[in-house]
Chains A and B, each alone.
Chain A
Amino acid sequence: MSRKIRKRIAAKPKVKARVFAALGDKTRLSIVARLCSGQPASISQLADDSKLTRQAITKHLGVLERAGIVRSSQAGRERIFQFERAPIESLQQYLASVSKQWDQTLARLKSHVEK
């Protein structure tokens, strides 16, 4: 599943991986925080850890999976969800580089107005 989604994200320009949008939600961030320790979890385990219903958890996991942030596999009757590092790491690096550029640009503005 995840491999297919990642391929789609990489190959088709029209398929937008809305990683930022997927992370711009406190519940989904908390699911990511729970899964990013590396320990996979089932929907019921994630529901037990939070105040949310299984349906709500399932919906949020769907958003995260479509953005490629988590991937799932079937284990018996349960679906197990696992954190996928690559999309968030690439995002983080991208933001960090934009942020660094602004630091340099604003430093020039500062010396420009303070001279």
Chain B
Amino acid sequence: MGSVIEKRLELRAPISRVWRAITDHREFGEWFKVKLDGSFIPGQVSRGQITYPGYEHVTWEARIEKMEPERLFSFTWPYAQSFEKTDKPTDYSHAPRTLVEFRLEPIPGGTLLILTESGFDSIPADWRPEAFRRNDGGWTEQMKNIESHVTQNP
């Protein structure tokens, strides 16, 4: 794995509250903006419909990997080539996938959430949206960002 996105967030809420917010499919759907068909079960595929304004036509699909109470919740999801509107539901069967992990740690006054998304190196360049392929932004000032992304997981 050559790259990881990592986010650390301190939440002023007990770990049990955060665990429920990320693993109860109705609560997850509220903040993630997705209407899910059913509960999260490890090893099973979760499906639903995005409710985020402008993306209501997008199907959500993820395979739940791990649910270790109040410690780790993870799933893999397919990488969508584009979110443009089509008549057919999105076909994710051949899409490359990335791994999303939510790790929880108790801290004084609340919970530390560490979110990582990894596995981007399985995404072929030609799967990335056109918008990301053409650009003429400066490279040098971005080097530090890239380096921190790729060295987090050499």
- A: which residues have CB within 8 A of B? 9-13, 15-26, 29, 33, 36, 68, 85-99, 102-103, 105-106, 108-114
Could you say which interface size class chain B belongs to? 35 or more
- The interface residues of chain B lying within 8 Å CB-to-CB of A23 are 2-3, 146, 150
Residue with the highest number of chain B CB atoms closer than 10 Å, among A20, A88, A95, A111: A20
| Total contacts A-B at CB 8 Å | 131
On whether the beta carbons of B120 and A95 are closer than 8 Å, the reply is yes
- The interface residues of chain B lying within 8 Å CB-to-CB of A85 are 139
Within 8 A of A (CB), among B8-63: 9, 11-13, 17-18, 21-22, 27, 30-33
On whether the beta carbons of B128 and A21 are closer than 8 Å, the reply is no
On whether the beta carbons of B142 and A89 are closer than 8 Å, the reply is yes
In Å, the complex CA distance between A68 and B124 comes to 12
List 10 extra interface pairs beyond A20-B150, A26-B151, A109-B113, CB under 8 A: A10-B126, A23-B3, A24-B154, A25-B154, A89-B137, A94-B120, A102-B115, A106-B113, A108-B32, A113-B18
- The interface residues of chain B lying within 8 Å CB-to-CB of A95 are 3, 5, 120, 145-146, 149
Closest A-chain residue to B130, C-beta based? A90
- The interface residues of chain A lying within 8 Å CB-to-CB of B9 are 106, 109-110
A5 smallest CB distance to B (angstroms): 11
- The interface residues of chain A lying within 8 Å CB-to-CB of B147 are 29, 33
On whether the beta carbons of B115 and A113 are closer than 8 Å, the reply is no
On whether the beta carbons of A29 and B113 are closer than 8 Å, the reply is no
In the assembled complex, 9 residue pairs joining A and B whose CB atoms fall closer than 8 Å, in A order, are: A20-B123, A24-B3, A33-B143, A87-B125, A94-B132, A95-B3, A106-B113, A109-B113, A110-B11
- The interface residues of chain A lying within 8 Å CB-to-CB of B1 are 24
Is B153's beta carbon under 8 Å from chain A? yes
In Å, the complex CA distance between A59 and B150 comes to 20
In Å, the complex CA distance between A114 and B110 comes to 10
In Å, the complex CA distance between A37 and B125 comes to 24
Interface readout for B92-135 with A: 1 if CB under 8 Å, 0 if not? Answer: 00000000000000000000010101001111111011011111
- The interface residues of chain B lying within 8 Å CB-to-CB of A10 are 125-126
- The interface residues of chain A lying within 8 Å CB-to-CB of B140 are 36
In Å, the complex CA distance between A23 and B27 comes to 38
Closest A-chain residue to B14, C-beta based? A113
